[in-house]
Amino acid sequence: MGTILLSHSVSANDLTVGFSQIGSESGWRAAETSVAKSEAEKRGITLKIADAQQKQENQIKAIRSFIAQGVDAIFLAPVVQTGWEPVLQEAKEAEIPVFLLDRNITVKDDSLFMTGVAADSVHEGAVAADWLIKTQAGQPCNVVELQGTVGASVALERKQGFLDTVATVPTIKIIRTQSGDFTRSKGKEVMESFIKAENNGKNICAVYAHNDDMAIGAIQAIKEAGLKPGKDIKIISIDGVPDIFKAMIAGEANASVELTPNMAGPALDALLAFKKDGTLPPKHIKTESVLFEPATAQAQLDLKKDMGY
Ligand code: AHR
């Protein structure tokens, strides 16, 4: 990795970061984009955002374009886990450090990226499962799972963390699992098919959704089937976006594991430290995974409003 450091003539105001963002599939993603803009502005850094519309090929094109423009760093929220080696090798040869945001990648050579800012997604799945185990207190429960985007690290890890944890309790079973692509519309569509296949939803005790948007889609499907989400079917998901807190206040959702949308802030700080004196960040900068329930939903909603998302 090159060491192009800030000298007296180069300040944060001269730094340009190219951010290859996945798209706008969820409320969380939209919040992450807007927080990235404000965190860059706060530090006087120019941020160029390229929206990949869920396609890895668009992310690869964007990274190549950032390299051609000679940006000072590249931020990448990788839509899927694999297939990044060639383009990240090109960034490395151009001495442009790459920072991963909110998802992981699998590469043989981890010098292809400087650091990754993300939650421990296996742990997120485990926190969701622990909540369900505690809530069921030994009562049997058939769970349907709405997975995130196929091939995304967060989908694979949230699945694994939940599965490994419920596997310790024989009364909790995952009876159906399918991708809802992290979107509200697909979450609703998949939930409708689960309800049809499971005695009009009567065999289902809980939904575990890999994000809040799919949970909100599922809530809609449950209501349209004449059942009460949050009561007849429990809803547990991940993200902690304002809409899930509104659903909790309405009694239609039960718990959400928060994922902070501020991934860019720690990455920008790591970039500034590196540019200042070559300080290398830890390989993984881990964000917290706190579980929220209806009791604190209004306070969380107010807090998010104050924070501007
Ligand atoms: O990678 C983070 C996940 O991507 C969020 O949980 C989800 O909402 C988003 O689309």
Angle at 154 between CA 153 and CA 160, to 5 degrees: 90
Q: Is the pLDDT of residue 266 over 70?
A: yes
Domain span at residue 278 reads 12-117+263-285
Task: Give the pLDDT confidence of 112-143 residue by residue, as tens digits.
Answer: 999 999 999 999 999 999 999 999 999 999 99
Is 154 part of any domain? yes
How confident is the model at residue 272, as a pLDDT?
97
In this structure, the answer to whether residues 133 and 160 fall within a common structural domain is yes
Mean per-residue pLDDT for 265-285?
97
Q: Tell me the best of 32, 103, 124, 259 to mutate to test the pocket of ligand 1, counting ligand atoms within 8 Å of each CB and taking the most.
A: 259
In this structure, the answer to whether residues 233 and 152 fall within a common structural domain is yes
Ligand 1 midpoint to CA 97 (Å)? 23
Ligand 1 midpoint to CA 177 (Å)? 18
Is 89 part of any domain? yes
Residue type, 238: I
Is 308 part of any domain? no
Q: How far apart are CA 112 and CA 88, in angstroms?
A: 6
Band (pLDDT 50/70/90 cuts) for residue 19 is very high
In this structure, the answer to whether residues 180 and 201 fall within a common structural domain is yes
In this structure, the answer to whether residues 44 and 79 fall within a common structural domain is yes
Is 224 part of any domain? yes
Percent of the chain with pLDDT over 90: 94
Is 83 part of any domain? yes
Ligand 1 atom closest to 25 (CA): 10
How confident is the model at residue 307, as a pLDDT?
86
In this structure, the answer to whether residues 129 and 255 fall within a common structural domain is yes
Task: Give the pLDDT confidence of 164-207 residue by residue, as tens digits.
Answer: 999 999 999 999 999 999 999 999 999 999 999 999 999 999 99
Where do the H-state alpha helices sit in 13-120? 27-42, 56-69, 85-93
Strands 46-51 and 73-76: unpaired
Looking at the structure of the chain, the number of domains it has is 2
In this structure, the answer to whether residues 225 and 277 fall within a common structural domain is no
Tell me the CATH number at 64: 3.40.50.2300
Mean per-residue pLDDT for 67-80?
98
Is 159 part of any domain? yes
Mean per-residue pLDDT for 56-73?
98
Residue with tokens 């996945």: 22
Question: CB under 6 Å to ligand 1: residues?
Answer: 25-26, 28-29, 102-103, 154, 182, 211, 213, 238-239, 259
Band (pLDDT 50/70/90 cuts) for residue 308 is confident
Ligand 1 midpoint to CA 203 (Å)? 28
Residue 201 Ramachandran class (φ > 0 left, ψ -120 to 50 alpha, else beta): left
In this structure, the answer to whether residues 154 and 255 fall within a common structural domain is yes
Ligand 1 atom closest to 103 (CA): 1
Is 48 part of any domain? yes
